[in-house]
Amino acid sequence: MSGTMHTLDSSLIPRLPASSPTLFEAKKQKKLSFEAMGKELGRDEVAVAAIFYGQALANDEDISKLSKILGIDHKELESQLAGIPDRGRTIEMPPKEPLIYRLYEIVQTYGYAYKAVLNEKFGDGIMSAISFSTKVEKETDEKGDWVKITLRGKWLPYSRF
């Protein structure tokens, strides 16, 4: 981890499920990165971070592994992480956080261009945000570091009825 351990801003807690402060507190103690945890769980690091923020489902196996590597009582974690996430309420939109705003700006700037190209490539439909995965990569060249984010979603054509 060439960057900095990501921690939870305490003022976000009222917008998060009970599991979030539990997980972040343990992560801070154990000094574990999302990448390291992702390897342990066999899941992408973005998915793990999404579990921490209450935005992705942790199944029984995930809970067991998280409990073990983070040293959290299994019962407590299971009780807090059981249930399907109530996604989307953490961020106030438009996002005020500069890093997240840049992603929002990309949608604002290129939204219709993506639609145009996707319609011409696939027809009438959408890219699913559910049957979907994403990952983050770091690339370095002589100009410095580059972020590469990949979004991959199933194409869903509109039904004809």
Residues designated as active site: 102, 105, 128
Contacts to a copy of itself from residues 108-127, by CB under 8 A: 108-127
19-53: b or e for each residue (b if 16 or more CB lie within 10 Å)?
A: bbbbbbebbeeeebbbebbbeebebbbbbbbbbbb
Q: Counting contacts by CB under 8 A, is residue 106 touching a copy of itself? A: yes
Q: Are 90 and 55 in contact (CB under 8 A)?
A: yes
Q: Counting contacts by CB under 8 A, is residue 157 touching a copy of itself? A: yes
Contacts to a copy of itself from residues 30-59, by CB under 8 A: 33-35, 43-47, 49-50, 52-57, 59
Supply the minimum distance, in Å, between the C-beta of residue 36 and a copy of itself.
10
Supply the minimum distance, in Å, between the C-beta of residue 68 and a copy of itself.
19
Contacts to a copy of itself from residues 125-144, by CB under 8 A: 125-136, 138-139, 143-144
List Cα–Cα distances, 44 to 31, 50, 56, 100, 136, in angstroms. 18, 10, 12, 19, 9
Q: Counting contacts by CB under 8 A, is residue 69 touching a copy of itself? A: no
Q: What are phi and psi of 133, to 5 degrees?
A: -140, 165
Joined together, the tokens standing for residue 34 give 């999302």
Supply the minimum distance, in Å, between the C-beta of residue 2 and a copy of itself.
7
Q: Counting contacts by CB under 8 A, is residue 73 touching a copy of itself? A: no
Q: Counting contacts by CB under 8 A, is residue 17 touching a copy of itself? A: yes
Rounded distance between C-alpha atoms, residue 54 and residue 58, angstroms? 9
